[in-house]
Amino acid sequence: MAEDEQQRRVCRTCGETFPYPGHNSLATRSICERCVAIPEEAARVMRILRRRVDQLTREVEKLRGENSE
């Protein structure tokens, strides 16, 4: 992949996808531009809760798949 080519990344804090690198963007490889401004203490809690929600979502989808068989 060329160095100037943009990639779609997933923000560790909010879970949204964002282009990286963005022109004049404050986004990092793992945090989108919106979440860069969030204080670290709040961002840490958001990351923990997002991971838990993702985990529960996968478990529910797995259970739905087992029940449909």
Considering only the C-alpha atoms of the chain, give the largest distance between any 2 of them, rounded to a whole number of Å.
Answer: 50
Q: Please report, as a single letter, which amino acid is at residue 42.
A: A
Ranges of the chain with pLDDT below 70: 1-4, 69
Which CB contacts under 8 angstroms, 24+ apart, belong to 37-46?
38/13, 43/13, 46/13, 46/14
Provide the pLDDT for residue 21. Answer: 84
Half-sphere exposure of 20 (CA within 13 A, CB side): 15
Q: What's residue 3's pLDDT?
A: 54
Q: How far apart are CA 30 and CA 34, in angstroms?
A: 12
Q: What is the pLDDT of residue 18?
A: 93
- Residue boundaries of the structural domains of the chain: 7-67
So what's the pLDDT on residue 12? Answer: 95
Tokens of residue 13, six digits:
């804090």
Rounded to two decimals, the pTM is 0.73
Looking at residue 4, what is its pLDDT? 56
The one-letter amino acid code at 64 reads R
